[in-house]
Amino acid sequence: MTVLRLADQKPFTTKDGSTIRSILDRTNAPVEKQSLAEAQVPAGTATQRHYHRLAEEFYFILEGQGEMEIDGESRTVGPGDAILIPAGAWHTITARETLRFLCCCAPPYAHDDTYFA
In a domain, 5, yes or no: no
In a domain, 67, yes or no: yes
For residue 76, how many C-alpha atoms fall within 13 Å in the half-sphere facing its CB?
Answer: 4
In a domain, 63, yes or no: yes
Give the CATH number, domain containing residue 92.
Answer: 2.60.120.10
In a domain, 64, yes or no: yes
Question: Per-residue pLDDT tens for 56-113?
Answer: 999 999 999 999 999 999 999 999 999 999 999 999 999 999 999 999 999 999 989 9
In a domain, 2, yes or no: no
What is the domain count for the chain? 1
CA distances 10 to 5, 23, 95, 103, Å, are 11, 10, 22, 16
Q: What is the extent of the structural domain holding 47?
A: 10-113
Quote the pTM value. Answer: 0.95
pLDDT of 117: 80
In a domain, 1, yes or no: no
Q: Is the pLDDT of residue 36 over 90?
A: yes
pLDDT of 20: 96
CA distances 57 to 1, 3, 35, 94, Å, are 25, 22, 9, 17
Average pLDDT over residues 18-39: 96
In a domain, 3, yes or no: no
